[in-house]
C-alpha cells in the first residue's frame, strides 16, 4: 500500500447472523467508483468479518462516509457502522444519525480531520 493510503476498518453492529448487513454494505461501497477496488473483507478476532477499505486521503474518506450514510438511510433495522483507522481513531454512524445531515456532515469532517491529524479517537453519534 502506498504511503499516502490509509486503511479504515468497518464493522457493522449488530450484524445479522448471516452477515447480510456487512455483505450489503460491502456491495454498496463497491458501487462507488472511488471505492470499487479498495473494499475487501477480513476476519476479525472474536467477531464476524469486517470490511477493510484503503483510502488515499480526505476526499476518499468523504466518499466513504457519504456512501455509508447513504446505505444507512435505506436501512430499516437499527444498525451502527464503526470506522476505525489504523492509527487508532474511530467514529460511528447509526441509522438515526444518517438521517440527520448535520450528523453526517460532522462525521465526515471528524473522519477527515482524524485522518489528516491522526488524532486517536473521534466519536460522532446521536445516541
Query: Average pLDDT in the 21-46 region?
Result: 89
53 or 72, higher pLDDT: 53
Taking the C-alpha atoms of residue 92 and residue 90, their distance in angstroms, rounded to an integer, is 7
Tell me: pLDDT of 69 over 80: yes
pTM of this structure: 0.76
Query: What confidence tens digit (pLDDT) does each residue in 88-119 have?
Result: 888 888 877 777 778 777 777 777 776 666 54
Q: What percent of the chain has pLDDT over 90?
A: 14
76-90 mean pLDDT: 83
Can you tell me whether residue 28 is helix, strand or coil?
helix
Neighbours of 46 (CB within 10 A): 4
The DSSP letter of residue 32 is S
pLDDT value of residue 121: 44
Share of the chain above pLDDT 70, in %: 79
The stretch 60-88 carries a mean pLDDT of 84
120 pLDDT above the threshold of 50: no
- The answer to whether the CB of 54 falls within 8 A of the CB of 6 is yes
**What does the pLDDT read at residue 116?**
64
Amino acid at each position: 500500500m502506498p504511503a499516502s493510503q490509509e486503511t479504515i476498518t468497518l464493522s457493522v453492529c449488530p450484524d445479522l447472523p448471516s452477515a447480510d448487513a456487512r455483505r450489503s454494505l460491502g456491495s454498496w461501497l463497491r458501487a462507488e467508483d472511488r471505492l470499487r477496488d479498495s473494499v475487501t473483507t477480513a476476519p476479525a478476532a472474536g467477531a464476524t468479518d469486517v470490511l477493510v477499505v484503503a483510502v488515499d486521503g480526505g476526499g476518499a474518506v468523504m466518499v466513504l462516509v457519504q456512501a455509508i450514510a447513504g446505505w444507512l438511510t435505506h436501512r430499516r433495522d437499527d444498525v451502527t457502522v464503526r470506522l476505525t483507522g489504523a492509527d487508532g481513531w474511530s467514529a460511528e454512524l447509526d441509522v438515526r444519525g444518517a438521517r440527520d445531515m448535520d450528523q453526517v456532515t460532522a462525521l465526515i469532517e471528524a473522519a477527515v480531520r482524524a485522518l489528516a491529524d491522526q488524532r486517536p479517537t473521534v466519536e460522532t453519534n446521536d445516541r
